[in-house]
């Protein structure tokens, strides 16, 4: 957010990255990294940039406050998550809405601890017990966004009926996990809908993904795709728009929330 703001101020002022680099005594690449969010500017550097761009006193204080917030460690850093996962969790923590499609799994934000533990251990057979605990613990912590008293995350979950069927086949997990779906689906900020098996071949068969939305004028809509031993953010505009189109088409095939709840109830032991 800070980097995007600085880039916008620079462009509005008609200043090049080379001009900024000359003022800061660094390279243009470093300026680019500051604007991409890869690096955080020092307080003196930020003040110099604000002066160069003609930023008002009020806006400068806002940028300095944003910088102070960016220096604070996020809760996820204590879990020492893999870099590919930490990058996603960082963005998810600031998102206002998440749209998640899953073809084979219950979405992570809706998983019980027992189900999450089974999924992580089966998906990555080489994961150590300590790493397993970290990932499951972080997943539980992420779910706090759904029940937060202030500004809870709006969560729109689409999943294939196959995910419900596979869960139902795990007799020791099914009752708790499917019951949890029915309970959390009653929350006003959570929507759970099922794409039935008889809908045939569809656009989401290539794999699950998440789309994150953020407050206006902060960060663009961002996608995320995860696989067994990794994941990656999708920030290319065209690719994100393609994922959004797929989500809309899957939504058109999905059952209503009430029909989805009925299907889940029928599969519950």
Is the pLDDT at 169 greater than 70? The verdict is yes
Q: What is the arithmetic mean of pLDDT over 223-242?
A: 90
Q: Are 103 and 91 in contact (CB under 8 A)?
A: no
185-232 per-position pLDDT tens digit: 999 999 999 999 999 999 899 999 999 999 886 778 999 998 877 899
Is the pLDDT at 68 greater than 90? The verdict is no
Instruction: Please give the DSSP secondary-structure letter assigned to residue 56.
Output: -
Contacts of 114 (CB under 8 A, 6+ apart): 172, 173, 176, 177
Dihedral of CA 47/49/54/58: which sign?
Answer: negative
Q: How many CB atoms lie within 10 A of CB 214?
A: 16
Dihedral of CA 71/73/76/77: which sign?
Answer: positive
71-97 per-position pLDDT tens digit: 666 777 777 788 888 889 988 988 999
Domains of the chain: 2-71 (1.10.260.40), 75-267 (3.30.870)
């Amino acid at each position: 957010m800070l980097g995007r703001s600085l880039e916008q101020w620079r462009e509005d002022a008609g200043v090049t990255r080379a001009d900024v680099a000359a003022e800061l005594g660094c390279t243009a690449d470093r300026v680019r990294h500051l604007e991409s969010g890869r690096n955080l500017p020092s307080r003196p550097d930020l003040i110099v940039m604000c002066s160069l761009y003609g930023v008002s006193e009020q806006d400068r204080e806002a940028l300095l406050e944003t910088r102070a917030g960016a220096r604070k460690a996020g809760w996820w850093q204590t879990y020492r998550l893999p870099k590919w996962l930490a990058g996603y969790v960082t963005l998810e923590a600031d998102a206002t809405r998440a749209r998640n499609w899953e073809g084979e799994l219950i979405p992570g934000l809706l998983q019980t601890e027992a189900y999450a533990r089974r999924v992580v251990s089966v998906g990555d057979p080489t994961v150590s017990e300590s790493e397993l605990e970290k990932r499951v613990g972080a997943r539980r912590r992420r779910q706090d966004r759904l029940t937060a008293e202030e500004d809870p995350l709006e969560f729109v979950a689409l999943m294939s009926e196959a995910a419900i069927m596979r869960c139902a086949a795990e007799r020791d997990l099914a009752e708790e996990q499917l019951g949890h779906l029915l309970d959390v689906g009653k929350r006003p900020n959570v929507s759970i809908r099922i794409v039935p098996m008889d809908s045939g071949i569809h656009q989401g068969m290539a794999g699950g993904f998440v789309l994150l939305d953020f407050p206006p004028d902060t960060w663009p809509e961002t996608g995320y795709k995860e696989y067994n031993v990794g994941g990656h953010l999708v920030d290319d505009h065209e690719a994100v728009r393609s994922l959004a189109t797929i989500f809309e088409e899957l939504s058109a095939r999905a059952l209503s929330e009430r029909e989805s709840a009925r299907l889940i109830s029928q599969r519950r032991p």
